[in-house]
A and B are shown apart, each in its own frame.
Chain A
């Protein structure tokens, strides 16, 4: 508990009539990667701001490195926003120079590894580099001052699977050195890379734990029908929403009996499979909280 890098306890944030964050508990310890999932407007950004100390909670408390959030505390955080926090019209070297000057850190001996691997691209303004490289630079910039807590916003969005894996190498290498990381994401693949997840909807946490914990025992009905379009229409008519996967239909929020009943007229083979993280997420978020 006390080794947590940051801990939010029963944190609530209200402005005006709107409750953006409602009684949320979140903690990040050294060496772990916590994923934060939620629809837009679920309160993720506000929660991150509360953890950073940019906002003061209306109720509850935030403890950052063992004390109330402060400028000293913020210095120990590495934050990579989705826009990467790099200046598009400056070269990578100039960007890093700016950050070092601000944080008062000295360049590592032999130059930064991120810059060395760029070769001649080090002289190109960041805006003209391919996205994968930009993201790597964004991380390198955030890691410059050896932060103990990383806050990453959609770190691999838009990037190919291999490049995404390489980015995760950087994240894991930092956490293996003792840092803790909070990753906000919409990407299910990325969520599965995290050690555990926190799912938010309408300002509250609706689930937390590992992917397996969150999926639990819930199952979806898989419909294999030669005329999938007809099967789909029949399901829609019965009020069951289905998703198309290849040529099969998955109905996450129903029992086998209900599906069989709906498909009375349509020849189909039914089976069950565990729900995907996304299906579980949609269920959690649309259920009690509503859209």
Chain B
């Protein structure tokens, strides 16, 4: 038995991907649960409007951090600010009293705001009687913000895991090489290969969104077009990543390992579960690099808040740029996989598989 143990250990020491998983996974979990996994909100970005704005601002509890002040704004301006994601809370103060509007799509921020105001209100002077209103997700339902995020998760899963499996399967079977010799253009092969996964990704996501809206009452306040555009861009990124994974994987097992290593951090750190604002700054930057983060933002903004495309230009630009880079890299690497030495690739003939 000892001999088996020794042998297994030796083999494990040579299996780089499994080793990476054994190290990366615990590290990731430590980082996440140590620094990122938190529902505590320490700052609430607030926009203040109305003639008495300055006064109101001064009386807000310290958690509310004023990011915009507009003496001439009114309730409509406040609603727009929240919808566009400029702030998570808006205070409109005028002759009729002070209204605090909270963005229900930022679930934990809204809950924190409620707690802070509730506590503060009890000790405030009667001059600052506050009228609280929660917009966009008035009942503060978790499902309303999870379903948009889920849409992104599905696109990511299908794009990376499923697509990479499909491409690697062809590579494993040795048929990729034959395709290179047939009268097919590399683009025919590439697009023909990922088209089904593209279609399935869109279909799956649509089903989930419809189920959310029809069965669970998740709102779809914004433009379907904007949502679709965001989904498309994100799917390009995901598919590109899937093809890149397959280009560095020799077997389906390896492809899954790599895809999971890329999927897990995104699930944890993209703001899907734990809000970005709650993460320690040292870790939050990771979230800002991950593509899922941006799609979750787009999805939530469009579905729950009905945000217009103008307010979301940042995530769109990021996804667009990332999509272009990843797609270009994926196309290049795919072409290399297909025909490695037609003009200078560096990969020798695969060992001929002995037929059983």
Binding site for B on A (CB under 8 A): 40, 82, 87, 89-90, 94, 97-98, 101-102, 125, 131, 157-158
Q: How far is the CB of A159 from chain B (nearest CB, A)?
A: 11
Q: Are B3 and A98 in contact (CB under 8 A)?
A: yes
Closest Cβ neighbor of A98 among chain B residues: B7
Given the interface pairs A82-B354, A89-B15, A158-B354, the reply to whether A101 lies near B2 with Cβ below 8 Å is: yes
Interface residue count on the B side (C-beta < 8 Å): 12
Q: How far is the CB of A123 from chain B (nearest CB, A)?
A: 12
Q: Does B352 contact A (CB under 8 A)?
A: yes
Q: Does B11 contact A (CB under 8 A)?
A: yes
Closest Cβ neighbor of B13 among chain A residues: A89
Considering the complex of A and B, which 9 residue pairs feature the smallest CB-CB distances, nearest first? Answer: A101-B3, A89-B14, A98-B7, A89-B11, A102-B3, A98-B3, A90-B10, A94-B10, A157-B354
Q: How long is the Cα–Cα vector from A94 to B14 in the complex, in angstroms?
A: 13
Q: Does B349 contact A (CB under 8 A)?
A: no
Q: How far is the CB of B215 from chain A (nearest CB, A)?
A: 48
- For B14, the chain A residues whose CB sits under 8 A away are 89-90, 125
Q: How long is the Cα–Cα vector from A98 to B3 in the complex, in angstroms?
A: 6
- For A98, the chain B residues whose CB sits under 8 A away are 3, 6-7
- For A157, the chain B residues whose CB sits under 8 A away are 354
Q: Which B residues from 1 to 55 make CB contacts under 8 A with A? A: 2-3, 6-7, 10-11, 14-15
Interface CB pairs A-B, < 8 A, 18? A40-B356, A82-B354, A87-B11, A89-B10, A89-B14, A90-B7, A90-B10, A90-B11, A94-B7, A94-B10, A97-B6, A98-B3, A98-B7, A101-B2, A101-B3, A101-B6, A125-B14, A158-B352
Q: A87-B11, A90-B14 are in contact. List 16 more A-B contacts (CB 8 A).
A: A40-B356, A87-B7, A89-B11, A90-B7, A90-B10, A94-B7, A97-B6, A98-B3, A98-B6, A98-B7, A101-B2, A101-B3, A101-B6, A131-B351, A157-B354, A158-B354
- For A89, the chain B residues whose CB sits under 8 A away are 10-11, 14-15
Q: How far is the CB of B17 from chain A (nearest CB, A)?
A: 12
Closest Cβ neighbor of B7 among chain A residues: A98
Q: How far is the CB of B109 from chain A (nearest CB, A)?
A: 51
Q: How far is the CB of B10 from chain A (nearest CB, A)?
A: 6
Q: How far is the CB of B325 from chain A (nearest CB, A)?
A: 34
Q: How long is the Cα–Cα vector from A102 to B7 in the complex, in angstroms?
A: 11
Q: How long is the Cα–Cα vector from A173 to B6 in the complex, in angstroms?
A: 32
- For A158, the chain B residues whose CB sits under 8 A away are 352, 354
Q: How far is the CB of B330 from chain A (nearest CB, A)?
A: 29
Q: How far is the CB of B248 from chain A (nearest CB, A)?
A: 18
- For A101, the chain B residues whose CB sits under 8 A away are 2-3, 6
Q: How long is the Cα–Cα vector from A102 to B1 in the complex, in angstroms?
A: 8
Q: How long is the Cα–Cα vector from A3 to B196 in the complex, in angstroms?
A: 65
Q: How long is the Cα–Cα vector from A90 to B9 in the complex, in angstroms?
A: 10
Q: Which B residues from 313 to 356 make CB contacts under 8 A with A? A: 351-352, 354, 356
Closest Cβ neighbor of B12 among chain A residues: A89
- For B10, the chain A residues whose CB sits under 8 A away are 89-90, 94
- For B2, the chain A residues whose CB sits under 8 A away are 101
Q: How far is the CB of A160 from chain B (nearest CB, A)?
A: 14
- For B6, the chain A residues whose CB sits under 8 A away are 97-98, 101
- For B11, the chain A residues whose CB sits under 8 A away are 87, 89-90
Q: How long is the Cα–Cα vector from A98 to B6 in the complex, in angstroms?
A: 8
Q: How far is the CB of B9 from chain A (nearest CB, A)?
A: 11
- For A125, the chain B residues whose CB sits under 8 A away are 14
- For A90, the chain B residues whose CB sits under 8 A away are 7, 10-11, 14
Q: How far is the CB of A258 from chain B (nearest CB, A)?
A: 35
Q: How far is the CB of B350 from chain A (nearest CB, A)?
A: 13
Closest Cβ neighbor of A99 among chain B residues: B3
- For B356, the chain A residues whose CB sits under 8 A away are 40
Closest Cβ neighbor of A40 among chain B residues: B356
Q: How long is the Cα–Cα vector from A131 to B349 in the complex, in angstroms?
A: 14
- For B354, the chain A residues whose CB sits under 8 A away are 82, 157-158
Q: Which B residues from 285 to 306 make CB contacts under 8 A with A? A: none
Q: How long is the Cα–Cα vector from A82 to B11 in the complex, in angstroms?
A: 21
Q: How far is the CB of B140 from chain A (nearest CB, A)?
A: 53
Closest Cβ neighbor of A157 among chain B residues: B354
- For A94, the chain B residues whose CB sits under 8 A away are 7, 10
Q: How far is the CB of B209 from chain A (nearest CB, A)?
A: 45
Q: How long is the Cα–Cα vector from A158 to B354 in the complex, in angstroms?
A: 8
- For A102, the chain B residues whose CB sits under 8 A away are 3
- For A87, the chain B residues whose CB sits under 8 A away are 7, 11
Q: How long is the Cα–Cα vector from A97 to B5 in the complex, in angstroms?
A: 12
